[in-house]
Structure 1
Amino acid sequence: MTLHPVVQPLLAGFTLTLLLAACSAPESPQAPAGNSPAETQAELAKTKSEMPSPPLAAAAAKRMMALPASAEVMAYAPQADNSLPGYRDVPREQYQALTDNPVQLVSEQPVSTFSIDVDTGSYANVRRFLNAGQLPPRDAVRLEELVNYFPYDYPSRADGRPFAVSSELMTTPWNPQTRLLRLAVAAQEQGLAALPPANLVFLVDVSGSMDRREGLPMVQATLKLLVEQLRAEDRVALVTYAGDARVVLASTPGSEKARIRTAIDQLSAGGGTAGASGIQLAYQQARQSLLKDGINRILLATDGDFNVGISDFASLKAMAERERRSGVSLTTLGFGVDNYNEQLMEQLADAGDGNYAYIDTLQEARKVLVEQLASTLSVVARDVKLQVEFNPAQVSQYRLLGYENRQLKREDFNNDQVDAGEIGAGQRVTALYEIVPAGQKGWIEPLRYQASESPASNSGELAWLRLRYKTVTGGQSQLIEQPLPAQVVVQPSADLRFAAAVAAFAQQLRGERYTQGFGADATLALARGALADDRFGLRHEFVQLVELAQSLHNPALSTQDAVQ
């Protein structure tokens, strides 16, 4: 049959298109000849696993954040180790959503009030992400916890008080038009031998979600480090929970280390997570062995994935708030990945008058429970609040860096019924403000009908600092007041420069707009110039983490897009 002249070229073109499509289409995995059905399926599965993974989902792409000075950004892509038991396809880590502190006009809001925070879990958790080749979620980065992770050589002479307070002022590294104010609180050191007897309860999550190498095995190794530090006058009980809660080891003298280690070694994971029942039983055990003038503390080791019994956040937090009145504190030690509930861990410790740490390595466990055991267990002051009143003759605008979930109302400062943070022996607390000097252009434009000149008052004072705290025995709070000098230090201390580098990095990870133009290279230069006497190598490790983050650039978004 002869085709119409018009149809012939159309058919030829259509045939050519089909041939080209067939040649360009990716080949489907083919089973080798002679394979059995089982071998064929295994080979197909192997081939599929080697094929490139699909692009990041839109939800993950939204987590991209800017770090370098160039228009490159980094992306957080949740990944899980599917070779381990308990693997979940969809990571469901939980973090408290935080909104960065706003810029304040001194003419409208001259007073800033907040509770101190000595937790360090955010830094270790961020390190875990970076070491895994991922960027952390924005809300996993709490600036104050990154800054407070490091030891600083602050003045500690306290004149009879449990801590000393000092300040330092420098030109802001990422904005020469502003100043960076550092407030430092240094608690008195206390050796382990000087600590009062301790009544401890190890509360361990042995549910199925802990059945992975980052879970129960790490918990066991961590607790055994602490066991080696126990004295004969200390006592330890071991409580576990999975589908239900039980006492594995009743309160035992610290001299019986072998017995305590054996109880820890025999733990195994499996089942649901009745976390609330475990907490209740742990408090019961702690009350039974309560030491009137000693340390009474529960150490909760878990990933926070509660799914049996009381599991909602508000109820669990309320339980910890009620139980702290018994004189027993609650420290939370976070473990695990994928299903980690960081919000619960941090807030439970806060409500339970304790502290929060994330254990990503055995080295971190040693830092928290060996090198810093005194500060982890022993409290030197309770309900510590800071209040800063800025002098309008010196400061026109300011913003507090971090402490977003520690903000207090102005009237809360004098209200002893309002709970605040505790500070342990030897701990160092740092708070940073970025301020705009009076007369300088700031972030907020001046109002048309506002007086252009600031009232003169004590021109040599930048601000007035008030600090309230309660002694370990409770009672009425004590007040410390002192002026903060307005003099800018020409050669800032290594501690302040390093803290500024950590603060810059935290802001970059969170995608804040205030550090635009101050990228990874500038952060690295600032940190490398402030390594000082890095006894434990922590500052050098920080430099490596910034370098890791810098290597995770993704040019998909510009710096400007990432912070909108």
Structure 2
Amino acid sequence: MEKRLPLAGTALALIALPLAYQLHSTTGGGPRVEIAADREAPAPVPQSLAPPSQPAAKPAQLAVRKEMAARAAPPAPAPAPPVAAVAAMESAADLYAAQEAAPPPAGAVMERNKVSGLTSEPSGDRFKSFDESPLKSVASDPVSTFSIDVDTASYSYVRASLSNGILPPPDAVRIEEMLNYFPYDYPAPTKADVPFSVSLAAFPTPWNARTELLRIGIKGYEPPAAARKAEHLVFLIDTSGSMDEPDKLPLLKRSFALLAEKLGAEDTVAIVAYAGSAGVVLEPTKASDKAKILSALDSLDAGGATAGAEGIELAYRLAEQSKQDGAVNRVILATDGDFNVGIADPDALKDFIRRKRDDGITLSVLGFGRGNLDDALMQALAQNGNGNTSYIDSYAEARKVLVEEAGGTLDMIAKDVKIQLEFNPALVSEYRLIGYETRSLAREDFNNDKVDAGDIGAGHTVTALYEITPAGKGVEAMDALRYPAAKPAPEADGDRAGELGFLKIRYKLPGSDASQLIETPILQALVVPTIDAADADARFAAAVAAFGQKLKGSNYAGTMSWDAIRSLAAGAVGTDKGGYRAEFLRLLPIAEQLSDAR
């Protein structure tokens, strides 16, 4: 029988929330705040984003809420504006005042997760279960192969959970998506035919004095504004009854209004709704007719059971009507997790999306709300559609994904991108890839162009971290082999003697089925003696990895404290355009308090 903690556990978790409420009174917004000298006063929270009504609280809970209210005194909610008005918001205060900072419902019960020992609320959201990447011996398994991943849904989901006083389930914590959420200042390529550059770094591991971290950074090519492709988009929108919550359809409508506002005159938008108001809501329409597009979005209402009819076929039919060679032709599916879009069988749905991808129409998936997400299916559909997955938990996140990073979200510059790294046993005895568990590939898959892999959008950055154990220092976690493989004579190594390993990246250009190869040695000379000597991007990535490992209860997290993680991240904030690293710092004490209350 599953053990549950009493409601007092919920009250303990809520103690962390005054931090988030204080941010409203001191920074003019929710946890996500842009750093700006000319900050405006906070705008009222729209009614549609205000917390839902809650059942009567017990005295202990009332005491916690009273203390929270006394510290924050947030402004009274105002009537929700139409999507056209929200789309016109420009100031940081306007954007971030709409953050949801509601505590969990009074009846929420916390449960102890059997894997990590941390407490989390059973939400109904579904995540693919996976085992953490293990430590491997270079002597017996020297080659690591994986597909890149540019999705960021995990970090957004983790942030939303913590901001609501809830520890996310361990399987929701995918460290690669947390790393890739943040922009990094990697050098950019200068031409599209070599669509990304590679940046390497190596430095001591902050949570394990015996090992080192190897950072592989990739930066995607970003075309100049004059070379921007036309975008022909179809919004496939879930309007089932479960979407009738403030952080679902109302937020979805405002998110798509943001995207519509940034489109150019040559772009088109079509809208298909499934379930409550199934059918074509808007035929392909020039983006210059913004009033018509925003009016169509405003007309959407949630209600009824999820009955997709032929929603997915209809969306692709409209996409084919406006499709142009050399343009971005994409369906964007937005849902809280109801995927009954007309093809009930998940495998058949993935096959359908894969066939349409091969015809030049890609798919992205946006998740909204809590309680019904099928994260694994979201990931699978987007991967089969050569698209990406994002979790939109706030208006600010919608702006990041659909405006600030629109090129990376919509414009693919390379597909089926795979990484393979062979370690040199003379210098590295053990290694483990941090994250990317669900993106692992067999060694032979690297050279097989029929094996699907991840895709990179314009301007995207991808970060991967390996924790490596230097050879010859006697600090290995595994015993040496009794019968080691025969080593080549020293002279056979030649100039390879100073290589930690050899990196290979395979990719295809859009429209091509033949892969190309980038190769580079990873030199031992890269390793700096202290973590302080590493660049700010490398140190911040290490802090994010340490945070993810600690949050999910990793076997490899070591004894690094929350304070040490905070100190490492704080020293690597840098210019922080958008304030995303500062926001990460504000999540750390919340995660610490919730973990201590488990």
Task: Provide the residue aligned with 1:40 in structure 2.
Answer: none
CA contact (8 A) 2:235 2:332 kept: yes
In the TM superposition, what whole-angstrom CA distance separates every residue of 1:520-542 from its partner, at most 9, and x where no partner exists? 11111110111111111100100
Task: Provide the residue aligned with 1:252 in structure 2.
Answer: 285
- Which whole-Å CA distance do the structure 1 matches of 2:402 and 2:452 have between them? 26
After superposition, residues 58-207 of structure 1 pair within 5 angstroms as 60-62=111-113, 65=116, 74-78=118-122, 91-157=123-189, 161-207=194-240
Task: Provide the residue aligned with 2:501 in structure 1.
Answer: 463
Task: Provide the residue aligned with 1:414 in structure 2.
Answer: 447
Taking only aligned residues, the RMSD between alpha carbons, in angstroms, comes to 2.3
Number of aligned pairs? Answer: 491
SS in 1 for 2:262: coil
CA contact (8 A) 2:238 2:338 kept: no
In the TM superposition, what whole-angstrom CA distance separates every residue of 1:235-287 from its partner, at most 9, and x where no partner exists? 11100000674111100011111001000000000112235732221111111
- Which whole-Å CA distance do the structure 2 matches of 1:244 and 1:362 have between them? 24
User: Is residue 2:297 matched to residue 1:264?
Assistant: yes
Letter in 2 for 1:473: G
Task: Provide the residue aligned with 1:41 in structure 2.
Answer: none
User: Is residue 2:591 matched to residue 1:549?
Assistant: yes
SS in 2 for 1:405: helix
CA contact (8 A) 2:239 2:276 kept: no
SS in 1 for 2:514: strand
After superposition, residues 427-506 of structure 1 pair within 5 angstroms as 427-440=460-473, 441-450=475-484, 457=493, 458-487=496-525, 488-490=527-529, 491-506=533-548
Larger radius of gyration: 1
Q: Which has the higher contact order (CA 8 A, sep 6+)?
A: 1
Match of 1:228 among 261, 282, 290: 261
- Which whole-Å CA distance do the structure 2 matches of 1:284 and 1:512 have between them? 45
1:554/1:248 Cα in 2 relative to 1: closer, same or farther (>3 Å)?
Answer: same
Task: Provide the residue aligned with 2:90 in structure 1.
Answer: none
User: Is residue 2:539 matched to residue 1:539?
Assistant: no
Q: Which deviates more, 218-227 or 286-295?
A: 286-295
1:264/1:254 Cα in 2 relative to 1: closer, same or farther (>3 Å)?
Answer: same
In the TM superposition, what whole-angstrom CA distance separates every residue of 1:37-89 from its partner, at most 9, and x where no partner exists? xxxxxxxx9878668889957xx212574xxxxxxx741123xxxxxxxxxxx
In the TM superposition, what whole-angstrom CA distance separates every residue of 1:503-550 from its partner, at most 9, and x where no partner exists? 011111111121121121111111011111111110010011111101
Match of 1:519 among 561, 570, 574: 561
Superposition deviation, residue 158 in structure 1: 5.1
Task: Provide the residue aligned with 1:371 in structure 2.
Answer: 404
- Which whole-Å CA distance do the structure 2 matches of 1:47 and 1:149 have between them? 38
- Which whole-Å CA distance do the structure 1 matches of 2:451 and 2:154 have between them? 25
- Which whole-Å CA distance do the structure 2 matches of 1:173 and 1:158 have between them? 34
Task: Provide the residue aligned with 1:39 in structure 2.
Answer: none
SS in 2 for 1:504: helix
1:244/1:161 Cα in 2 relative to 1: closer, same or farther (>3 Å)?
Answer: same
User: Is residue 2:375 matched to residue 1:342?
Assistant: yes
In the TM superposition, what whole-angstrom CA distance separates every residue of 1:370-399 from its partner, at most 9, and x where no partner exists? 111111111111111111011111111110
- Which whole-Å CA distance do the structure 1 matches of 2:498 and 2:196 have between them? 25
1:396/1:337 Cα in 2 relative to 1: closer, same or farther (>3 Å)?
Answer: same
SS in 1 for 2:329: strand
SS in 1 for 2:409: helix
SS in 2 for 1:476: coil
TM-score (norm 2): 0.78
Task: Provide the residue aligned with 1:212 in structure 2.
Answer: 245
SS in 2 for 1:168: strand
1:98/1:193 Cα in 2 relative to 1: closer, same or farther (>3 Å)?
Answer: farther
Letter in 2 for 1:234: D
Task: Provide the residue aligned with 1:530 in structure 2.
Answer: 572
Superposition deviation, residue 476 in structure 1: 1.1
Identity of aligned residues (%): 49
- Which whole-Å CA distance do the structure 1 matches of 2:519 and 2:55 have between them? 68
1:522/1:276 Cα in 2 relative to 1: closer, same or farther (>3 Å)?
Answer: farther
Task: Provide the residue aligned with 2:92 in structure 1.
Answer: none
